[in-house]
Chains A and B, each alone.
Chain A
Amino acid sequence: MQRAVRTASLDWSRLVGPALTRQCSKCRAPLLVSARPYSVIPPPRDAEERDMLHRVLRVDHAGEYGANRIYAGQMAVLGRSRTGPLIQEMWDQEKKHLAKFDEILAENRVRPTALLPLWNVAGFVLGASTALLGKEGAMACTVAVEESIAEHYNSQIRALMEEDPERYTELLKVIKEFRDDELEHHDTGLEHDAESLPGFWLLKNAIQLGCKAAIYVSQRV
């Protein structure tokens, strides 16, 4: 049945493809692209769903980009210390996440957020400055950021599940996998004495507030 649907949708895309591009000058050529049988997001039914999906992907891409820069900042300071390899490992995982989102954005013609240069600098500065507080500082920053990101992914998962879990299975799979990775980083941070930093509670809340603001803004710009 699955294969029949897939071949049917293949035929459909070949059949209706050119006509869709002709008609949908208002509702965009993505229909031609996402008519492929395998794609992380389903071809949007209407402009509303398309906007919603694009916003989700845009803010997730911005988040991974920011996390990437935070680890880069931490490595710049602590790269040659004992915690270097640990941070490098977490950074590599974030790089994989970013690559995946880059691929999804390019495939679905999603506009990246205009604030990327800002997250570039802000992320690096945050990572570097917390790393200057020592290993505990870097771990505390990791804990705070990963917790924010995991919470954000969870709320996205909830929203998508409420909408239509079957329609978004691929996307949900990707987000769940990434959320699990972020929670792993969070636990790693806790294991490596993040809480022993003086002022941990203050730093954690400040960073989480910043993350919430960043997510809010990236969803809209």
Chain B
Amino acid sequence: MAALLRAVRVGRALRGLGGAVAIPPATHLQCSSLRRGFQSSLLRLQDESKSDRPPAPSSTTYHEHYQAHSSEQDPTAASQEGSAAEPEAEEASRSNTSYQDQSGEQGEEYETEDQLQARILTAALEFVPLHGWSMEAIASGAETLGLSSASTGMFHNGSGDLVLHFIAQCNSQLTEILAEQHKQVQLGHAEAKKTADFLRDAVETRLRMHIPYIETWPQAMSILLLPHNIPDSLKHLSTLVDDIWYYAGDRSTDMNWYTKRAALTGIYNTTELVMVQDSSQDFQETWNFLDNRIQDVVNMASTAKQVQSTGEAVVQGLMGAAVTLKNLTGMNQRR
């Protein structure tokens, strides 16, 4: 309750700051729509408090949409607040805004196409072990939500959409976990891990999310390699690697930025490949492989440092030799 009131105050401040934001034309503008969504939800809360209705039922409607987005359930009010903004955040170019009815689940609910697609794809994931990453899985998923299987017509990229949705979901789960760990370290409740251990844990956590779908994962990987899916899959991969390095503590602003990310991309991709053909208990061989690759990178980094300091020492030695030669031949003497 206190959180809601605080949010109302914030909403007033936000409205003051950003009242003149025009509706953005592009579709991937979730942040601006996030704020607008927040503002609209806060406006509704204010209307509510004016009409003296209790805001408690809102949490159940928000929760329904929230479940579509992430499998983790966060019981705090803060996340419910955030998830209230989330469904609204998916507003793209639709003009009818998704105001949710406050009287509970019986009321008519509007949601945007993006939200609906996300819900269908999430529901489709449980049929992937059966049907593979295909339109059949999406059709089955749509049917569990009570929609007709013809709603697969919404997905022009079919299996690509499904795989990319799954990957985006995994990446955001990982970011959540890393952010939580980061917070724990900052609060002093946990020790900071060494870089190599951190990277290993992060990659292992991320790859473990593939385990339920490991039988069909080769199919998913080949779908991601299709030309029209490559830009999106590369984008997801690069944000994943950037997030992992950021939480590992990398703040470099020179070529190291690129070399570190390239190294981690290589580690991640090769480990993924090892994982799909690993048949050991709990994928132990994969984690051993991961350990070895990370050790390689760490060794390479320390070798590079050694080479650099050796090189500097050699250059200084050569300069000293040159000066000595000049002295010996009398070239340094002033005439």
Binds A, one of B45-53, B73-81, B134-142: B73-81
Q: Are B176 and A22 in contact (CB under 8 A)?
A: yes
Which residues of chain B have a CB within 8 Å of any CB of chain A?
3, 6-7, 9-10, 13-14, 17-18, 21, 24, 26, 28-32, 34-35, 38, 69-70, 74, 78-79, 81-83, 85-86, 89, 168-169, 171-172, 175-176, 179-180, 239, 242-243, 246, 251-255, 257-258
Task: Give the complex CA separation of A32 and B85 in angstroms.
Answer: 15
Chain B residues contacting A17 (CB-CB under 8 Å) are 82, 179
Beta-carbon contact of A26 and B30 below 8 Å: yes
- Asked if A24 and B78 make an inter-chain contact with CB atoms under 8 angstroms apart, the answer reads no
Bound complex: CA A221 to CA B137 (Å): 40
Any B CB within 8 A of the CB of A158: no
Query: Which partner residue on chain A sits nearest B167 by CB separation?
Result: A25
Q: Which residues of B contact A61 (CB under 8 A)?
A: 253
Q: How far apart are A46's CB and chain B's nearest CB, in angstroms?
A: 4
By secondary structure, the B interface counts as helix
Q: Which chain B residues lie closer than 8 Å to A26 at the CB level?
A: 28, 30, 168
A-B contact pairs, 14 of them (CB 8 A): A5-B17, A9-B13, A15-B6, A16-B38, A17-B82, A18-B78, A24-B34, A25-B169, A25-B172, A46-B31, A48-B24, A48-B29, A109-B242, A112-B257
Q: What chain A residues lie within 8 Å of B255 (beta carbons)? A: 116-117
**The residue from B13, B24, B176, B246 contacting A18, defined by CB atoms under 8 A apart:** B176
Q: How far, in angstroms, from A28 to B198 measured CA to CA in the complex?
A: 21
Contact among B14, B168, B252, B254 for A25, CB-based, below 8 A:
B168
Q: With A102-B253, A117-B255 given, is the CB distance from A4 to B82 under 8 Å?
A: no
User: Apart from A15-B82, A22-B86, A47-B28, what 7 extra A-B contacts exist at CB < 8 Å?
Assistant: A9-B13, A11-B10, A18-B82, A22-B175, A25-B171, A27-B30, A61-B253
Q: Are A23 and B172 in contact (CB under 8 A)?
A: yes
Size category, A interface: 35 or more
Query: Would B253 and A105 count as touching, CB distance under 8 A?
Result: yes
Structural contact, A31 and B31, CB atoms closer than 8 A: yes
Q: Which 5 A-B residue pairs are closest in the complex by CB-CB distance?
A: A19-B82, A106-B251, A25-B172, A46-B32, A46-B29
Contacts of B10 in A (CB 8 A): 8-9, 11-12, 15
Are B78's CB and A21's CB within 8 A? no
A22-B172 CB under 8 A given contacts A45-B31, A109-B242: yes
List the B residue with the shortest CB-CB distance to A106. Answer: B251
A25 vs B239: C-alpha distance in the bound complex, in angstroms?
Answer: 8
Docked complex Cα distance between A106 and B252 (Å): 7
A162 CA to B34 CA in the complex, in Å? 25
